[in-house]
Amino acid sequence: MSIRQSLAAHPNASSSVLDYLIRDDAVSVRPQVALNPNTSAGALSDLVDDINSDVQDAAASNPKTPKVLLEEFGLI
């Protein structure tokens, strides 16, 4: 696991750090951000629209992702 992946998965990662990591080019980092309970609803709304389906699925599994977004993107 890379340092950025570890940071994205860390339970004490701040929402500002996670907001920065949603723009990471490494597809392995963004799903970790999407799964993190500290990720903001705004960041999750970007992640459900990610080009990568693994990122979308991870965002859909985060309980903080608004249901309306999941319905809009056909993830539920």
- pLDDT, tens digit, for every residue of 12-52? 999 999 999 999 999 999 999 999 999 999 999 999 999 99
Other beta carbons within 10 Å of 21 = 21
CA of 68: how far to CAs of 18, 20, 59, 64, 76, in Å? 22, 24, 13, 11, 10
- pLDDT, tens digit, for every residue of 4-13? 999 999 999 9
Give how many domains the chain has, as a whole number: 1
Range(s) of the domain holding residue 42: 3-72
Looking at the predicted structure, is the pLDDT value of residue 75 above 90?
no
pLDDT of residue 24: 93
Select the more confidently predicted residue: 70 or 64.
Answer: 64
pLDDT of residue 35: 97
Whether 48 and 75 have beta carbons less than 8 Å apart is answered as yes
Amino acid present at 22:
I
- DSSP type of residue 2: -
